[in-house]
């Protein structure tokens, strides 16, 4: 179907079903129960799942396929957000021009940065992209204040007078009258499920993005990108230049990031410089490797995982922990709570860093590899089969 | 003319910090072939060594006075630092006053130990892994260290003053024959520059004139051959890692009076230090030092108001000082991809 083979079609359909029924799946606990704090089915969080899913899918096209580790992808996300908010300010609250422009602007920006950064590879490339992102952050924060509104962040003011905003149009982001932040709430017994317009827009775009990413993975172009990763020298010897391919991958992933940024702004018409900071760039790297770099489904899983636990961890506090571990004897409970207390509440960044290290050290292939290992363990098959993308296990580089 | 001298002087202290961090980065990269994204965190930990020592020294014993009362009628609390109780009033007060220089003694063993543990416990396992993994794991470590410091010391900058003897400023204007007050330069910045010059000199002398340094340089050039000669090069490289950590930590200790330390200072300096390393030429120690000072001075010139105004009016770039280093790095990479002093064959891929 749609030019995909059977396995990929199944994967796409599974993801589509999961995305469309997410409001049910993410709300397994009744609203009034004690476990309701583990529900993730409210619009704001679901939007972030799919938006950061798009971001990570795009990042994976660059990092997973070519192995070029960019540390500055948040810059494209930020640029996309600014572009979208400017469209709201100039043209009106319809999200379509904002999203289109955010993709285009991020693509042009990625072309510029990629053209320079891709002159070097390996470590140099990572450092360069990090430097560019920090430079973009500094520019957004102070240098370009007339465009970005500096520290305050860019937002739409009532004095802006957009060009196509008529009196009947809603005064919040909308898609031809469909207001993004409105939801339809369905109550079934003790459960309540909310279906948010914005979420479905993001989810549909995420599915499109996912589909494109599958096509790229399976295309001759994707094969070229993998060749860049496995042995660039050999590729050069066969008379191919790696530069155009890596630049194309960089721009595509930049456009994905721009789309994510545009969607973030469409859900909540704000754009701030902190979206471009290095921690944000690090987060998308983590999402990708946590899920499994170079796999199709990995980045989506990683994004969902990170955003879900970010939400849960920041809600827990010390007394909740004491409640959970009250069955332990005090000499064990107190040190345990003391230890865990570092990671909860405002300590999410610490959790993120720890997770980062643990994943890189113990599970370089991410959740997908972890799942495969467990699967193999259960089915009892021996190792050495190729993983989902068809690339051999990570460390072996033939003829290097 | 006096303005130009002032800008050069102003650039020296930031340049010293860049040079010291970039030197450590290059040392680690040259010996172990690892890009250490946690190096900025080491700089920050050094700074917090100074903060910790200052806090420890000024711990106070609180006595409730029997006779005196405060304005509210409650008994007056007399606070005496333990340092003054133990070492006598004058000497104790001097110790507290000199806590930042004293922190050097405190920081050296701490940083060497942290460096040693980091290399043996973590980085050792990443030599055979791809560069991307090395970057990621040290990046994660940097976040962890930074957040731990934030958790225990709070998010606000902690003022850590220099000894009172160095708190004033020196008037270079009189010395050089300009108007008095035209070139005012704080004493501590002079100390910082002199300190970093000594450290840089010591590192180079250590590598150049000792047998240990010779072996390390040989190892940097050809690790396998040195290993074949029966020398345990790994152990020496581990020590070099500790040394690089100590250099970063000392740079942090002495930097505290210039800028009050906060938990994100490490990352702020790290990104710029990477740019310094790239401009200087990856793997080149003199390049790192040279580029550090050059970029520090350049940044200072960019914040000089006539130049700043020029950029703002003619090129529509206000606050050029915030991005000048990146712009220069881009130009250098486009015209001279190997950096100022990079050698052929070092990190060419």
Which of B39, B323, B334, B342 has the most A C-beta neighbours within 10 Å, making it the best mutation to test the interface with A?
B323
Consecutive H or E run containing B77: strand B75-81
> And the tokens for A80?
């996309």
Yes or no: say if A271 and A338 are a contact pair by the CB < 8 Å rule: no
pLDDT band for position A385 (cuts 50, 70, 90): very low
pLDDT tens, position by position, B31-44? 888 888 899 999 99
Whether A116 has its CB under 8 Å from any CB of chain B: the answer is yes
Q: What is the pLDDT of residue A1?
A: 65
Token pair, residue A56, equals 């990570």
The pLDDT, as a whole number, for residue B201 is 94
Taking residue B36's Cβ as centre, other Cβ atoms within 10 Å add up to 29
Pick among A360, A362, A364, A391 to test the B interface (most B CBs inside 10 A): A360
Calpha distance A54→A106 (Å, rounded):
14
Q: Which of A19, A45, A32 is nearest to A191 (CA)?
A: A32
Among B271, B277, B288, B325, the residue to mutate for chain A (most A Cβ within 10 A) = B271
The predicted pLDDT at position A392 comes to 44
Whether residue A131 and residue B271 make contact (CB cut-off 8 A), yes or no, is yes
Residues B139 and A71: their CA atoms lie apart, in Å, by 10
Longest pairwise C-alpha distance within chain A? 69
How far apart CA A292 and CA B96 sit, in angstroms, is 52
Check: CB of residue A211 under 8 Å from CB of residue A132.
Answer: no
B318 interfacial to chain A (CB closer than 8 Å): yes
So what's the pLDDT on residue A312?
A: 82
- Nearest Cβ partner of B133 from A120, A354, A360? A360
- Determine contact: B125 vs chain A, CB below 8 A: yes
The better pLDDT of the pair A117, A151 is held by: A117
User: What pLDDT sits at residue A175?
Assistant: 81
Read off the pLDDT of each residue in B282-289 and give the average, rounded to a whole number.
Answer: 86
Question: CA-based angle A139:B150:B142, to the nearest 5?
Answer: 70
CATH class of A6-276: mainly alpha
Backbone angles phi, psi at A395, to 5 degrees: -80, -20
Among the listed residues B121, B144, B119, B145, the one whose alpha carbon sits nearest the alpha carbon of residue B43: B145
User: Closest approach of chain B CAs to the CA of A45, in angstroms?
Assistant: 24
Instruction: Give the model confidence (pLDDT) of A40-92 as tens digits.
Output: 778 888 888 999 999 999 999 999 999 899 988 999 999 999 999 998 888 88
* pLDDT tens digits, A127-145: 889 888 888 888 888 777 7
Q: What pLDDT shows up at residue A382? A: 55
H-helix or E-strand spanning residue B65: strand B60-69
> Per residue in A208-223, pLDDT tens?
999 999 999 999 999 9
pLDDT-derived band at B3 (thresholds 50, 70, 90) equals confident
**Opening angle at CA A62, ends A58 and A65, nearest 5:** 115
Alpha carbon of A79 to those of A85, B244, B279: distances in Å?
Answer: 10, 37, 27
Whether A353 sits inside 8 A of B323 (CB atoms) is no
For B78, the 3-state DSSP assignment is: strand
Name residues 164-193 of chain A within 8 A of B (Cβ). Answer: none
CB atoms A356 and B271 under 8 Å: no
pLDDT band for position B133 (50/70/90)? confident
* List of residues 6+ apart from A150 with CB closer than 8 A: A140, A141, A142, A273
Token pair 């609180």: residue:
B62
Rounded to whole angstroms, how far apart are CA atoms A26 and B285?
54
Whether B144 contacts chain A with CB within 8 A:
yes
Decide: A271 and A85 in contact? Cβ < 8 Å. Answer: yes
CA B148 from chain centre, in angstroms, equals 19
Q: Is the pLDDT of residue A111 over 90?
A: yes
pLDDT of residue B100: 85
Residue B279 touches chain A, beta carbons under 8 Å = no
- Asked whether the beta carbons of residue B144 and residue A357 sit closer than 8 angstroms, the reply is yes
Gap between the Cα atoms of A382 and A389, Å rounded: 19
Supply the DSSP string of A67-80, one letter for each residue: ----S-THHHHHHH
Q: Which of residues 333-362 of A touch B (CB under 8 A)?
A: 342, 347, 349-350, 352-357, 360-361
- With an 8 Å Cβ cutoff, is B139 touching chain A? yes
Indicate the length of chain B as a whole number: 349
- Contact between A296 and A58 under an 8 Å Cβ cutoff? The reply is no
Given this model, what pLDDT does residue B202 score?
93
Set of chain A residues whose Cβ sits within 8 Å of the Cβ of B271: 130-131, 134, 278
Mean pLDDT of A195-211: 90
Among B35, B124, B128, B131, the strongest candidate for a mutation testing the A interface, having the largest count of A CBs within 10 A, is B131
Task: Give how far the C-alpha of residue A150 lies from the chain's centroid of Cα atoms, to the nearest Å.
Answer: 25
**pLDDT single digits (tens) A241-271:** 888 999 999 999 999 999 999 999 988 888 8
Residues 266-285, chain A, touching B (beta carbon < 8 A): 278-279, 282, 285
Strands (E), chain A: 154-155, 174-175, 178-179, 183-188, 191-196, 270-271
Beta strands in B151-246, from DSSP E residues, in sequence order:
169-171, 184-186
The answer, for B137 touching chain A at a CB cutoff of 8 Å, is yes
Q: What is the DSSP-derived secondary structure letter of residue B342? A: P
Record the tokens describing residue A343, joined without a space: 């990671």
What's the ipTM?
Answer: 0.82
A122·B131 Cβ contact <8 A? yes
Q: Report whether pLDDT(B122) > 60.
A: yes
The tokens for A374 are 């467990």
Nearest by CB to residue B319, choosing from A122, A142, A394, is A142
pLDDT at B346: 55
B232 CB contacts (<8 Å, ≥6 apart)? none
Residue pointed to by tokens 């060419």:
B348
Tell me which chain A residue has its CA closest to the CA of residue B123. A361
Band of residue A149 on the pLDDT scale cut at 50, 70, 90:
confident
CB contact B346 to A (< 8 Å): no
pLDDT at B172 over 90: no
Q: Distance between alpha carbon A252 and the CA centroid of its chain, in Å?
A: 14
Residues 6+ apart with CB under 8 A from A134: A72, A278, B271, B326
The residues with which B175 forms a beta bridge, in sequence order, are none
Q: Is the dihedral of CA B32, B36, B40, B42 positive or negative?
A: negative
Query: How many H helices and E strands in chain B?
Result: 15, 4
Q: What percent of chain B has pLDDT over 70?
A: 97
**CA Rg, chain B, in Å?**
23
Confidence class for position B199, pLDDT limits 50, 70, 90? very high
Angstroms from A374 CA to nearest CA on chain B: 23
Nearest to B96 by CA among B53, B62, B61: B53
- Collapsing DSSP to helix, strand or coil, A269 comes out as coil
């Amino acid at each position: 179907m749609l030019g995909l083979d059977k396995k990929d079609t199944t994967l796409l359909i599974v993801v589509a079903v999961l995305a469309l029924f997410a409001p049910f799946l993410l709300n397994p606990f009744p609203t009034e129960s004690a476990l309701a704090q583990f529900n993730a089915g409210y619009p704001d969080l679901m939007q972030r799942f799919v938006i950061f899913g798009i971001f990570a899918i795009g990042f994976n096209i660059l990092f997973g396929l070519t192995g070029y580790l960019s540390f500055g992808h948040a810059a494209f996300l930020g640029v996309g957000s600014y572009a979208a908010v400017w469209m709201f300010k100039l043209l009106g609250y319809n999200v379509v021009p904002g999203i289109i422009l955010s993709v285009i602007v991020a693509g042009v920006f990625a072309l510029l940065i990629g053209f320079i950064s891709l002159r070097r590879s390996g470590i140099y490339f990572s450092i360069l992209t990090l430097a560019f992102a920090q430079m973009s952050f500094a520019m957004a924060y102070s240098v370009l204040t007339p465009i970005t509104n500096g520290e305050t962040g860019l937002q739409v003011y009532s004095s802006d007078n957009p060009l196509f905003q008529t009196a009947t149009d809603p005064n919040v982001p909308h898609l031809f009258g469909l207001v993004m932040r409105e939801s339809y709430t369905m109550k079934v017994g003790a459960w309540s499920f909310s279906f948010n317009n914005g979420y479905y827009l993001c989810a549909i775009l995420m599915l499109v993005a996912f589909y494109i990413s599958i096509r790229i993975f399976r295309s001759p172009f994707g094969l070229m990108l993998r060749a860049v990763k496995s042995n660039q020298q050999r590729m050069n010897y066969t008379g191919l230049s790696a530069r155009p391919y890596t630049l194309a991958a960089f721009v595509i992933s930049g456009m994905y990031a721009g789309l994510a940024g545009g969607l973030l702004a469409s859900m909540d018409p704000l754009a701030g410089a902190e979206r471009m900071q290095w921690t944000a760039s690090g987060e998308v790297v983590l999402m990708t490797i946590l899920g499994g770099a170079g796999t199709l489904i990995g980045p989506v899983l990683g994004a969902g995982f990170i955003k879900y636990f970010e939400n849960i961890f920041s809600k827990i506090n010390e007394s909740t922990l004491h409640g959970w571990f009250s069955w332990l004897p005090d000499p064990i409970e107190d040190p345990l709570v003391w230890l865990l207390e570092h990671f909860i509440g405002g300590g999410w960044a610490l959790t993120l860093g720890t997770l980062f290290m643990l994943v890189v050290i113990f599970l370089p292939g991410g959740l997908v590899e972890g799942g495969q290992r467990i699967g193999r363990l259960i089915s009892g098959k021996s190792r050495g089969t190729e993983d989902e993308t068809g690339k051999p296990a990570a460390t072996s580089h033939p003829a290097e | 003319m006096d303005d130009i001298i002032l800008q050069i002087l102003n650039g020296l202290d930031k340049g010293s910090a860049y040079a010291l961090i970039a030197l450590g980065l290059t040392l680690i990269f040259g010996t172990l072939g690892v890009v250490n994204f946690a190096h900025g965190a080491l700089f920050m930990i050094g700074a917090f060594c100074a903060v910790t020592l200052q806090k420890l020294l000024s711990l106070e014993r609180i006595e409730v006075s029997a006779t005196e009362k405060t304005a509210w009628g409650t008994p007056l609390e007399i606070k005496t630092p333990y340092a003054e109780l133990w070492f006598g009033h004058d000497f104790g007060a001097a110790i507290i006053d000199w806590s930042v220089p004293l922190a050097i003694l405190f920081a050296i063993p701490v940083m060497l130990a942290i460096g040693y543990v980091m290399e043996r416990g973590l980085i050792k396992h990443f030599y055979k892994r791809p560069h991307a993994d090395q970057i990621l794991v040290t990046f994660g470590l940097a976040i962890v260290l930074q957040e731990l410091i934030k958790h225990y010391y709070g998010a606000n900058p902690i003022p850590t003053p220099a000894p009172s003897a160095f708190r004033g400023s020196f008037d270079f204007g009189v010395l050089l024959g300009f108007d008095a007050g035209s070139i005012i330069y704080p004493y501590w910045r002079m100390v910082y520059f002199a300190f970093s010059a000594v450290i840089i000199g010591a590192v180079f002398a250590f590598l150049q004139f000792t047998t240990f340094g010779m072996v390390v340089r040989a190892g940097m050039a050809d690790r396998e051959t040195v290993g074949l000669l029966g020398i345990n090069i790994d152990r020496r490289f581990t020590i070099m890692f500790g040394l690089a950590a100590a250099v970063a930590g000392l740079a942090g200790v002495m930097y505290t009076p210039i800028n009050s330390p906060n938990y994100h200072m490490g990352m702020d300096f790290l990104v710029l230090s990477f740019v310094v390393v790239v401009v200087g030429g990856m793997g080149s120690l003199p390049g790192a030092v040279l580029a550090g000072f050059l970029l520090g001075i350049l940044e200072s010139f960019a914040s000089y108001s006539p130049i700043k105004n020029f950029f703002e009016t003619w090129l529509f770039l206000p606050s050029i000082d915030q991005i000048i280093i990146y712009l220069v790095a881009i130009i250098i990479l486009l015209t001279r991809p190997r950096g100022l002093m990079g050698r052929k064959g070092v990190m060419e891929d």
